[in-house]
Amino acid sequence: LALEIVEGETLAEVVSHRTRLASEQVVDFAEQIATALQAAHELELTHHDLVPDKVLVAPDQRIKVLDFRKGRAKNPFCHSSQKRTKDRLAFRAPEQIRGDAAGPKADLYALGCLLFYMLTGRPPFEGSAEEIAHKQQYEVPPRVSTLVLDCSIWLDPLVAQLLEKEPARRPYS
């Protein structure tokens, strides 16, 4: 086991300082996160818990995706803290919440949630843990362009596609 020491802030901390990030920075961060996910998926490794606290932004703006683990618990309600459960549910794919088998497409859904979060300053769905779990499975999230008027014309449909309820409707990789 080798661990890299990386200084920086979590994505949650970065967004909390600024309310939301500029589209150009979101695109840069998203590209780096997607590259990390692609490398992991090529090794047949799925993150299953991609949340803003698991994305580190180094001082030079390099992104590090933290905490890839094999055999991560699939139950979204497995954490002891109600706040941690609620925070994680806000970035979980519908299939994970249902307890179905979740593969790389679940990570792509989480990436869509992260993009939404970076662009708007909030996750796609808010409420209690039970409300978020229900919304993740059954409600269509708002379009980023309805919340952020300066969202790039091509970025809004990409976020919407990543947030499709059916994994087959999400991007291939």
**Which residues are designated catalytic?**
49
Question: Residue 126's closest CA among 147, 96, 105, 151?
Answer: 147
Residue that the structure tokens 């309310």 belong to: 19
- Residue 140 sits at φ, ψ, to 5 deg, of -80, 130
Look up residue 158 and give its amino acid: L
